[in-house]
Amino acid sequence: MHVKVDDDRCQGHGLCRISAPDLFFAREEDGNAYVKDEHVPDGREDDAQMAADSCPELAIEVD
Ligand code: F3S
């Protein structure tokens, strides 16, 4: 599974970091989320999906 944050959509709500604080990080300058690695580790797919589902801006894409 891969995960991406659409920076144009992200508004820094931070709910993704509640679901998966080790997968999503807040950019210092604006609080927008980013991932350090688009590859979701084995066993963390549910957390990545939960983060995507929690985003009110639909900014997280998983495939
Ligand atoms: Fe951004 Fe959505 Fe997370 S708005 S900070 S990707 S919950």
Q: How far is the CA of 10 from the centre of ligand 1 (A)?
A: 5
Max CA distance (Å), the chain: 31
* Pocket lined around ligand 1, Cβ cut-off 6 Å: 5, 10-16, 32-33, 55, 57, 59-60
Which residues are registered as beta bridge partners of 62?
3
CATH class of 3-62: alpha beta
Inter-residue contact 26 to 32 (CB < 8 Å): yes
User: Average pLDDT of 36-40?
Assistant: 96
Q: What percent of the chain has pLDDT above 90?
A: 100
Give the residue extent of every domain in the chain: 3-62
Which pLDDT tens digit goes with each residue over 25-34?
999 999 999 9
Overall pTM surpassing 0.90 (yes/no)? yes
E-strand spans in the chain? Answer: 3-5, 25-26, 33-34, 60-62
Q: How confident is the model at residue 5, as a pLDDT?
A: 98
Q: How far is the CA of 42 from the centre of ligand 1 (A)?
A: 22
